[in-house]
Amino acid sequence: MPRFFIELCYQGTAYHGFQVQENANTVQAELSKALTIFYRENFELTGSSRTDAGVHALQNYFHVDTTIDINDKHIYNINALLPPDIAVRSIREVGATAHCRFDAVARSYSYHIYREKDPFMRDRAWFYPYPLDISLMQEAAEMIKEYRDFTSFSKRNTQVYTFNCDIIESRWEEFEGESYKVEGIRNRTREHMGVLVYHVKANRFLRGMVRGLVATMVKLGRKQIDLSEFRHIIEAKDCTKADFSSPPHGLCLERVWFL
The residue ranges of every structural domain in the chain are 3-94, 104-258
Rounded to whole angstroms, the Cα distance separating 246 from 248 reads 7
Host H or E run for residue 249: none
Query: Can you tell me whether residue 200 is helix, strand or coil?
Result: strand
Q: What is the CATH number of domain 3-94?
A: 3.30.70.580
The per-residue pLDDT string of the chain (259 residues; one tens digit each, 9 = 90 and over) reads 999 999 999 999 999 989 877 778 999 999 999 999 999 999 999 999 888 899 999 999 999 999 998 989 999 999 999 999 999 999 999 999 999 999 999 999 999 999 999 898 899 999 999 999 999 999 999 999 999 999 999 987 777 889 999 999 999 999 865 555 554 443 344 444 579 999 999 999 999 999 999 999 999 999 999 999 999 999 999 999 999 999 999 999 999 999 8
Architecture of domain 104-258: 2-Layer Sandwich (3.30)
- Which of 52, 85, 123, 149 is labelled catalytic? 52
User: Which residues are CB-neighbours of 28 under 8 A, at least 6 positions away?
Assistant: 18, 19, 20, 45, 47, 62
The question of whether 226 is a catalytic residue gets the answer: no
The answer to whether domain 3-94 and domain 104-258 are alike in fold is: yes
Question: For 258, phi and psi rounded to 5 degrees?
Answer: -120, 155
Name the pairing type of β-strands 251-258 and 56-65.
parallel
Q: What is the DSSP letter of 122?
A: T
CA distances from 164 to 18, 149, 150, 152, 203 (A): 23, 4, 6, 11, 10
